[in-house]
């Protein structure tokens, strides 16, 4: 009988090919584990009293803005990094001298941009104005949240527009929200 294989197994192609497949899966699994351990879960908001309580506070603040009948027009100028906010209200509400505009990146908390707005002179219609500046460039798509010291808040999605309106009135039975 003639032996065709004269090379030892470790010098053959097929054993190394078969060994490489599970080895690649192990390397990919370890890489995924390393990535998961290096980055935090920025999509979950944590608070001292739990995620559910934080969510309830957010819902209550958005309802408060709807009760006040607040409608905000946010103007963003990419050339000067200026932000101008005009607010109208159906109820006579006492609006704070300082507002917070928070631009949240949908997936990466490191790209979030907090902007503090200070009261400015009213516009030509007599609506109160707040002005501020953002310090870092904004992404193409972010979640815009305008709030006043946790008493009320309005949220919308921003996709690069220079003028955005927040707080449009929607009936409570509207399912499109």
Predicted confidence (pLDDT) per residue in 138-164, tens digit: 777 889 999 887 688 898 888 888 888
User: How many CB atoms neighbour CB 73 within 10 A?
Assistant: 17
Domain ranges of the chain: 69-166
Among 101, 92, 97, residue whose Cα is nearest residue 166: 101
- CA count, 13 A, side-chain hemisphere, 77: 10
Question: Is the separation of the CB atoms in 164 and 155 below 8 Å?
Answer: no
- CA 166, distance to chain mean position in Å, is 16
Distance CA(55)–CA(48), nearest Å, equals 12
**pLDDT at site 169:** 52
Contact present, 164 and 152 (Cβ < 8 Å): no
Give the integer Cα–Cα distance in Å for 176 and 107. 24
Structure tokens at 30: 């370890």
pLDDT over 60 (residue 123): yes
End-to-end CA distance of the chain: 80
pLDDT of residue 176: 45
More confident residue, 138 or 176: 138
- 0.85 cut: is pTM over it? no
- Per-residue pLDDT at 174: 46
Which residue's structure tokens are 């906010």? 85
Q: Tokens in use for 122? A: 């009213």
Token pair 């934080």 is found at 54
Do 149 and 131 meet the contact criterion of CB atoms below 8 Å apart?
Answer: no
> For the domain bounded by 69-166, which CATH number is listed?
2.60.40
Alpha carbon of 175 to those of 98, 122, 171: distances in Å?
A: 33, 35, 9
Of 148 and 174, the one with more pLDDT: 148
CA distance 59 to 79: 34
**pLDDT at res. 141:** 86
Q: What is the mean pLDDT of the chain?
A: 82
Secondary element (H or E) of residue 160: none
The pLDDT-based confidence of 46 (bands split at 50, 70, 90) is low
Residue 67 or residue 85, greater confidence: 85
């Amino acid at each position: 009988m003639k032996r065709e294989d004269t090379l030892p197994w470790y010098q053959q192609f097929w054993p190394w090919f078969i060994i490489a497949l599970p080895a690649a899966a192990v390397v990919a699994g370890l890489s995924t584990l390393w990535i998961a351990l290096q980055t935090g879960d920025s999509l979950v908001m944590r608070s001292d009293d739990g995620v559910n309580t934080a969510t309830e506070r957010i819902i209550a603040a958005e309802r408060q803005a709807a009760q006040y009948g607040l409608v905000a027009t946010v103007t963003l100028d990419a050339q000067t990094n200026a932000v101008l906010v005009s607010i109208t209200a159906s109820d006579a509400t006492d609006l704070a001298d300082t507002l917070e505009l928070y631009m949240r990146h949908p997936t990466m908390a490191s790209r979030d941009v907090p902007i503090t707005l200070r009261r400015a002179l009213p516009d030509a219609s007599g609506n109160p104005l707040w002005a501020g500046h953002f310090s870092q460039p904004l992404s193409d798509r972010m979640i815009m949240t305008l709030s006043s010291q946790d008493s009320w808040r309005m949220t919308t999605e921003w996709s690069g527009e220079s003028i955005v309106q927040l707080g449009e009135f929607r009936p409570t039975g509207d399912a499109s929200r």
